[in-house]
Amino acid sequence: MKFFVDGADVQEIKALSEIGMVDGITTNPSIIAKTGKNFFKVIEELCALTQGPVSAEVTALDAKTMIQEALKLRTIASNVCIKVPLTEEGLKACYELRQKDIMVNVTLCFSALQAIMAAKAGATYVSPFIGRLDDIGHNGLHLIEEICQIYDQYPEFSTEVLAASVRSPFQIREIALMGADVVTAPSSIIRSMVKHPLTDKGIVDFLKDWEKTGQSIL
């Protein structure tokens, strides 16, 4: 499973990359707006942190302008992945961009049927938003399971399942068990995955025993 960091904090992402936890980055206009920095500058900084894809979202609603924005975003770096919404216009833009061999992340997916459409349009990634489904009383994890099962039936589908809107380490475990290709989550959630009380206790016990020996490795 690949880990994409959902965010725009350069220092946080750099720290995660030092332990091999950054296979790519996802952003959106809301995340970048919170930085207070220039949109293009932020994308450029993020692209320098990883060789993997950095999803940069278009803001237009019609395919023609989406494509124009996509081509401009691609001038920032070769690893920019264009994020488009799962609408008819978004799928049209996706299809045309894929003909140009440009990576496309089709976002705001909330049903298995939408995921099928994204795969047929040639999307590099489809992003089902599980947390937002949970917020309205639906089962977001069930959607990931459905999409993975459907994609497995059709080897001609090359689209990767990118589980998004993740709210907890538990969800990441479940997503991994279902066989999703990628998960994107804030750095805080990814960092929390390493924690376990028995690990902490074990370290304390080992150090106490070592101290009793009076020895030093260095």
Active site includes 41? no
Which residue in this structure is represented by tokens 């690990």? 199
Q: Which of 83, 201, 208, 212 is catalytic?
A: 83
d(CA 125, CA 117) in angstroms, rounded, equals: 12
Q: Which of 45, 93, 49, 86 is nearest to 71 (CA)?
A: 93
Contact (CB, 8 A) for 69 and 58: yes
For the chain, helix, strand, coil in percent to 5 are 50, 15, 35
Q: Rounded CA gap, 105 and 206, in Å? A: 46
Question: Which string of DSSP letters, residue by residue, matches 8-55?
Answer: --HHHHHHHHTTT--SEEE--HHHHHTTTS-HHHHHHHHHTT-SS-EE
Say how far apart CA 69 and CA 25 lie, in whole Å: 19
DSSP state letter for 139: -
DSSP state of 128: E
User: Any idea which residues carry the catalytic annotation?
Assistant: 83
